[in-house]
Chains A and B, each alone.
Chain A
C-alpha cells in the first residue's frame, strides 16, 4: 500500500468525494451502455462506436480503481475514528468488528448473487450471438445454393447474354462463398466462446458456492466466538441470544443484528424489571399493552412500509433495539440523554440512533390505541410498529390508551 502524506481528515473527505464521483461515473457508463443496447443500432458503425465506448469505459474503470487503491484505501486506514470513506453503496458504514463481520458476510452474499447474475447474462448473450451467427450462416448458404442453381440453369445456354450473365453470377458466387466461409468461421468461433462461457459459469458456480459457504461459516464461527467471549465477560449471553448466528444474518438483517448485538453487549446485563416502570410510563400517559390484543385487521399494513423513507428493516432494527436495549435500559434507570450520548459516542447514523428509538416509543408520537366498549384495543396510530413487534415476538409495547 502506498504511503499518503496528508492531513487524514482532509484526505478522508477528499477520498469520500472521489469515491462518490467514481461511482457516479460508473453508473453513468452503465446507463449509457443500456441506452446504446436499447437503440437497436446494429451495423458496423455501431460496432466501431461500441468498441471505442467500451475502451473508454475500461480506461475510466482502471483510472477510478487506481484512485481508489491509491487514495481511498489509505485514507480509510488513517486514524481509528469512525470511517468517513463510505465508498460503494455495497460498503456501508462500518464502525465495529461486528459490523465488519456482517459487512463482509453481506458483501460475499451480494458478490455471489451479482457474479452469478453476470454469468447468466453472459451465457444468454453468447447463446444469442451464436443463434444470430447460425442464422446468418444459413442465410448465406441459401444464397450460395441459389447462385449455384442459377449457374446450372445457365450452363446449357449459349447465347452471349447468357454467358455474360453466367460470368456475373459466377463472380457473385465467389463472393457469396467467401462470405459463407467467413460466417462459418464466425459461427465456429462464437460457438467456442459460448462453450467457454458455459465452462466458466459451471466452474464459477462450483467454486464460488464452496468458497462463499466456507467463508461465511468462518465469519459465523467468529461471531459466535465473540458472543461467547462477551457473554463470559459480561455475565450474559444477550449478544448471542438476541441475534443468533444463522449465517450471521439474523431476523433483523446482518447490519441491524450486529449493531444490536454490539449495543446489547455494551449495555451489559439487564437488571430485573424495576417495579416503578409502570408508574414511570403512566407519568407520561403511557401503558404497556399486549401487542396481540391490538387489532388493525380492518386497516392492514400494505404497500410502502414506513413514513419518512423508513424500510421494514429499519422498523425491525428499531423494534429489536427497543426490546433489547432501550427497555432494559429504562429498567436500569437510563434516560434519553444517556442513549443520545451513546449514539454520539458511536457516531450512529441517522437511522440507527437509539435516542430516536426512545422517541419512537416514548416521545410525542407513541403507539395510540383506543379501548372499545367490548374490551378490544383498536389501533389509531402505530400499525407498523405493532406489525413488526408481532413478527419479532415482542409481546408488550408502551402505548397511549384512550377510551373506556
Chain B
C-alpha cells in the first residue's frame, strides 16, 4: 500500500530535535537574566506542543501501519 507516515513523522521529530539543540547550544552565549523568561514563556511551551505533535504523529504512523496490514494478500 502506498502512503506511510513514518518518513514525515521522522522528519517532524528531526525538526524538533534541531530546534531543541539550537536552544540548548545557544544557552552558554545567551544566558543573562532574560533567558529563563524566554525559555519559560516561549521556548518550553512551544517545545511541549511540538513534542506532543511528535508523539501524536508517531502513534498515527503506527496505527496506519497496523491498518495497512489488513489490506494486502487477503483478497
| A residues apposed to B, CB below 8 Å | 26, 30, 33-34, 37, 42-44, 47, 50-51, 54, 57, 61, 65, 68, 73, 76-77, 80, 83, 85, 87-88, 90-91, 94-97, 99-101, 103-104, 106-108, 110-111, 114-115, 117-119, 121-122, 124-133, 136, 139-140, 143, 176, 178-179, 182-183, 185-186, 189-190, 192-193, 196-197, 200, 203-204, 207-208, 211-212, 214-215, 218-219, 222
Which B44-75 residues have C-beta < 8 A from chain A?
45-46, 49-50, 53, 56-57, 60, 63-75
Pairwise interchain contact B45-A211, C-beta atoms closer than 8 A = yes
Pairwise interchain contact B67-A190, C-beta atoms closer than 8 A = yes
Which residues of chain A are near B56, meaning CB under 8 Å? Answer: 196, 200
Pairwise interchain contact B8-A119, C-beta atoms closer than 8 A = yes
Pairwise interchain contact B18-A90, C-beta atoms closer than 8 A = yes
11 more A-B residue pairs beyond the given contacts A100-B26, A219-B38, with a C-beta to C-beta distance below 8 A: A33-B7, A90-B18, A91-B21, A119-B12, A122-B60, A126-B60, A139-B75, A179-B75, A182-B70, A208-B50, A222-B38
Nearest Cβ on chain A to B33's Cβ, whole angstroms: 11
Pairwise interchain contact B18-A107, C-beta atoms closer than 8 A = yes
The 8 closest A-B pairs by CB, nearest first: A129-B3, A107-B22, A128-B3, A114-B15, A100-B30, A189-B67, A100-B29, A122-B8
From A61, A129, A139, A182, residue with most partner B Cβ within 10 Å: A129
Instruction: State the CA gap A121–B60 with chains docked (Å).
Output: 14
Question: Given the known A-B contacts A42-B2, A88-B21, A203-B53, are A96 and B29 also in contact in the complex, defined by CB atoms under 8 Å?
Answer: yes
Pairwise interchain contact B75-A91, C-beta atoms closer than 8 A = no
Instruction: State the CA gap A350–B43 with chains docked (Å).
Output: 32
Pairwise interchain contact B53-A190, C-beta atoms closer than 8 A = no
Pairwise interchain contact B60-A200, C-beta atoms closer than 8 A = yes
Pairwise interchain contact A122-B71, C-beta atoms closer than 8 A = no
Nearest Cβ on chain A to B54's Cβ, whole angstroms: 9
Instruction: State the CA gap A204–B48 with chains docked (Å).
Output: 12
Instruction: State the CA gap A101–B30 with chains docked (Å).
Output: 7
Instruction: State the CA gap A96–B30 with chains docked (Å).
Output: 8
Instruction: State the CA gap A239–B66 with chains docked (Å).
Output: 57
Instruction: State the CA gap A131–B68 with chains docked (Å).
Output: 12
Instruction: State the CA gap A190–B49 with chains docked (Å).
Output: 24
Nearest neighbor of B29 in chain A, beta-carbon distance: A100
Instruction: State the CA gap A97–B33 with chains docked (Å).
Output: 12
Nearest neighbor of A57 in chain B, beta-carbon distance: B10
Instruction: State the CA gap A94–B30 with chains docked (Å).
Output: 10
Which residues of chain A are near B63, meaning CB under 8 Å? Answer: 189, 192-193
Which residues of chain B are near A183, meaning CB under 8 Å? Answer: 70-71, 74-75
Pairwise interchain contact B69-A197, C-beta atoms closer than 8 A = no
Residue interface bits B3-39, CB-to-A below 8 A is 1, else 0: 1111111111111111101111111111010100010
**Between-chain CB contacts (< 8 Å), 27 pairs:** A43-B73, A47-B72, A61-B10, A83-B29, A85-B25, A90-B18, A91-B18, A91-B25, A104-B26, A107-B22, A119-B12, A121-B7, A121-B11, A122-B9, A125-B5, A129-B4, A130-B3, A133-B67, A182-B70, A193-B60, A193-B63, A193-B64, A204-B53, A207-B46, A214-B42, A215-B38, A218-B42
Instruction: State the CA gap A101–B26 with chains docked (Å).
Output: 8
Which residues of chain B are near A42, meaning CB under 8 Å? Answer: 1-2, 72
Which residues of chain B are near A126, meaning CB under 8 Å? Answer: 3, 5, 60, 64
Nearest Cβ on chain B to A204's Cβ, whole angstroms: 5
